[in-house]
Amino acid sequence: MGTVDRTKQQLAAQLKQMAATMPLRKVRVGDLCENCGIDRRTFYYHFRDIYDLAAWIYSQNVEELLTDENGRPCEAGMLRVLTRIREEEYFYRSALREDSQNALGRFILRYNVEMYERELRKLLSVQELSREDLFAVGYHCFASLGMIRRWIYHQSYLEPCEMARLLIHTMPPKLRVFYQTPGAAELKEENHE
């Protein structure tokens, strides 16, 4: 791991620790940097603000955990992401409680919509998705974020494996295919008829 990665990881670990004891909006860059022994300029070299760092944490979790060896989302990956969210639930509770323009929830929604749209275009071998497909992606991403928020605030006591199973089971069929590899070829053929 290079120096840049170590610095980002150090800032991320400290932010998670601080978010466990205070709302994310109260975490100050100066305090975060002081706790890490890092100059503020170094923080701003890597991130715009605390929310940008929180978004980086989420995107790193997804990029590291969600996909299989071919870079596609997979069921085991969904379980790994949810397990990580459960392990870091104090950070996610703090970060998802915010609803400002730069809040993590808004980032997660954009990130997931873009990811599913990109993957669906690849799967269907199309440049543009139909209105129905765009609606299905948006609907799923909004609903799943809402359910994950509810889940981490302990309004749902599901284990990560049950949460992953239900999120996948309730997906629109064209998205579910990412998590059920054998059906991918069938969906592709169905859409080319």
Cβ(62)–Cβ(36) under 8 Å?
Answer: no
pLDDT in tens, the chain (193 residues): 566 689 999 999 999 999 988 988 899 999 999 999 999 999 999 999 999 999 999 999 898 898 888 777 888 889 999 999 999 999 999 888 877 777 889 999 999 999 999 989 998 999 999 999 999 999 999 999 999 999 998 877 899 999 999 999 999 998 888 777 543 344 344 444 3
Helix axes 184-192, 104-124, angle to 10 degrees: 70
**Residue owning tokens 């620790």:** 17
Domain 50-192 CATH (choose: 1.10.3730.10, 3.40.50.1970, 1.10.357.10, 3.30.2350.10): 1.10.357.10
pLDDT at site 117: 95
Ordered by start, the domain boundaries in the chain are: 50-192
Give the whole-angstrom CA distance, residue 175 versus residue 123.
10
| CA 10/CA 15 separation, integer angstroms | 9
Q: What is the pLDDT of residue 4?
A: 66
pLDDT at residue 186, rounded to an integer: 42
Which ranges in the chain belong to alpha helices (H)? 3-19, 29-36, 40-46, 50-65, 75-87, 89-97, 104-124, 131-152, 160-169, 173-176, 184-192
Q: What is the pLDDT of residue 71?
A: 77
d(CA 44, CA 113): 27
